[in-house]
Chain A
Amino acid sequence: MTPFTALTSVAAPLRLANLDTDQIIPARFLRHPRNPGYGGFLFHDLRFDGDGQERGDFVLNRPPFRQARILVAGSNFGGGSSREGAVFALADFGIRCVIAPSFGQIFYKNCVGNGVLPARLAEDAIDGLLAATEAETGTGGARPLCVDLEAQQITAPQTGAAASFEIEPFFREMLLRGLNEIGMTQAHHAEIEAFEAAYLHRFPHIGGPG
Chain B
Amino acid sequence: MREPRPRPRTALDKLWDTHEILRHPGGPSLLYVSRVLVHDGSFHAFDMLRDAGLAVRRPAQIFGTADHYVSTVPGRIAGETAETRRVLDLFARNMRDNAIVHFAAGTPGQGIVHVVGPEQGITLPGTLLVCGDSHTSTHGGLGAFAFGIGQSELAHVLATQTIWQHRPRRMRIAIEGRLGRFVSAKDVILAIIARIGTSGAMGFMIEYAGSAVRALSVEERLTLCNMSIEAAARAGMVAADDKVFDYLHGRPHAPSGAAWDHAVAIWRGLGTDPGAVFDREVTLDAEAIAPMVSWGTTPEQTLPIDARVPSPAAESDPARRAQIEASLAYMGLTPGRPLAEIGIDVVFIGSCTNGRIEDLRAAAQVLRGRRTTVRTLVVPGSGQVREQARAEGLDRIFQAAGAEWREAGCSMCVAMNGDIVAPGQRCASTSNRNFAGRQGIGARTHLMSPAMAAAAAVAGCLTDVRRLEAVDP
Please report A residues at the B interface, Cβ cutoff 8 Å.
Answer: 16-18, 20, 22-23, 26-28, 30-31, 33-34, 45, 50, 74-76, 79-85, 87, 102, 104-107, 109-110, 113-114, 168-173, 180-182, 184-185, 188, 191-192, 195-196, 199, 203-210
| Beta-carbon contact of B32 and A196 below 8 Å | yes
| Beta-carbon contact of B232 and A192 below 8 Å | no
Question: Which residues 1-41 of B have a CB within 8 angstroms of A?
Answer: 19, 21-22, 24-28, 30, 32, 34-35, 41
Could you say which residues of chain B place their CB within 8 Å of the CB of A105?
202-203, 232, 234
CA of A79 to CA of B335 in the docked complex: distance in angstroms?
A: 27
Could you say which residues of chain A place their CB within 8 Å of the CB of B470?
none
B164 on interface, CB distance cutoff 8 Å? yes
CA of A192 to CA of B151 in the docked complex: distance in angstroms?
A: 21
| Beta-carbon contact of B161 and A192 below 8 Å | yes
| Beta-carbon contact of A80 and B164 below 8 Å | no
CA of A33 to CA of B61 in the docked complex: distance in angstroms?
A: 26
Question: Which residues 196-246 of B have a CB within 8 angstroms of A?
Answer: 198-199, 202-203, 229-230, 232, 234
- Tell me the smallest distance from the CB of B116 to a CB of chain A, in Å: 16
Total CB contacts across the A-B interface at under 8 A: 180
CA of A84 to CA of B148 in the docked complex: distance in angstroms?
A: 12
| Beta-carbon contact of B43 and A182 below 8 Å | no
| Beta-carbon contact of B61 and A208 below 8 Å | yes
- Tell me the smallest distance from the CB of B266 to a CB of chain A, in Å: 7
- Tell me the smallest distance from the CB of B203 to a CB of chain A, in Å: 7
| Beta-carbon contact of B255 and A205 below 8 Å | yes
Contact bitstring B317-349, A, C-beta under 8 A = 1, else 0: 001101100100000000000000000000000
Which of A33, A80, A180 makes the CB contact (< 8 A) with B433? A80
Which of A31, A74, A82, A195 makes the CB contact (< 8 A) with B134? A82
- Tell me the smallest distance from the CB of B132 to a CB of chain A, in Å: 6
B422 on interface, CB distance cutoff 8 Å? no
What are 28 A-B pairs at a CB distance below 8 A? A16-B326, A17-B320, A18-B323, A22-B433, A26-B437, A27-B415, A31-B416, A33-B47, A76-B232, A79-B232, A80-B229, A81-B414, A82-B132, A106-B134, A106-B149, A114-B152, A168-B28, A170-B24, A173-B26, A188-B21, A191-B22, A192-B21, A204-B259, A205-B254, A205-B255, A205-B259, A206-B34, A209-B60
- Tell me the smallest distance from the CB of A105 to a CB of chain B, in Å: 6
B159 on interface, CB distance cutoff 8 Å? yes
| Beta-carbon contact of A84 and B164 below 8 Å | no
| Beta-carbon contact of A191 and B151 below 8 Å | no
Could you say which residues of chain A place their CB within 8 Å of the CB of B307?
none
Could you say which residues of chain A place their CB within 8 Å of the CB of B44?
33-34, 84-85
| Beta-carbon contact of B152 and A84 below 8 Å | yes
Which of A26, A113, A173 makes the CB contact (< 8 A) with B150? A113
| Beta-carbon contact of B34 and A203 below 8 Å | yes
| Given A81-B133, A81-B414, A106-B150, 11 more pairs with CB closer than 8 A | A16-B326, A22-B436, A82-B132, A83-B41, A84-B151, A87-B150, A105-B232, A170-B26, A182-B159, A207-B61, A209-B60
| Beta-carbon contact of A80 and B134 below 8 Å | yes
| Beta-carbon contact of B60 and A207 below 8 Å | yes
CA of A28 to CA of B69 in the docked complex: distance in angstroms?
A: 10
Which of B87, B124, B152 makes the CB contact (< 8 A) with A110? B152
- Tell me the smallest distance from the CB of A208 to a CB of chain B, in Å: 3
- Tell me the smallest distance from the CB of A181 to a CB of chain B, in Å: 5
B156 on interface, CB distance cutoff 8 Å? yes
B83 on interface, CB distance cutoff 8 Å? yes
Could you say which residues of chain A place their CB within 8 Å of the CB of B263?
203, 205
B84 on interface, CB distance cutoff 8 Å? yes
Residue of A nearest to B40 (CB): A31
| Beta-carbon contact of B87 and A31 below 8 Å | yes
| Beta-carbon contact of A185 and B61 below 8 Å | no
B182 on interface, CB distance cutoff 8 Å? no
| Beta-carbon contact of B202 and A102 below 8 Å | yes
| Beta-carbon contact of B435 and A28 below 8 Å | no
| Beta-carbon contact of B148 and A28 below 8 Å | no
Could you say which residues of chain B place their CB within 8 Å of the CB of A191?
21-22, 30
User: Which 3 A/B pairs are nearest by Cβ-Cβ distance?
Assistant: A208-B60, A170-B26, A113-B152
Contact bitstring B163-207, A, C-beta under 8 A = 1, else 0: 010100000000000000000000000000000001100110000
Contact bitstring B87-107, A, C-beta under 8 A = 1, else 0: 100000000000000000000
Could you say which residues of chain A place their CB within 8 Å of the CB of B320?
17
B155 on interface, CB distance cutoff 8 Å? yes
B313 on interface, CB distance cutoff 8 Å? no
Could you say which residues of chain B place their CB within 8 Å of the CB of A208?
60-61
CA of A179 to CA of B161 in the docked complex: distance in angstroms?
A: 19
Which of B84, B159, B164, B229 makes the CB contact (< 8 A) with A184? B164
Which of B28, B148, B160, B298 makes the CB contact (< 8 A) with A82? B148
Residue of B nearest to A199 (CB): B32
CA of A82 to CA of B24 in the docked complex: distance in angstroms?
A: 24
- Tell me the smallest distance from the CB of A107 to a CB of chain B, in Å: 8
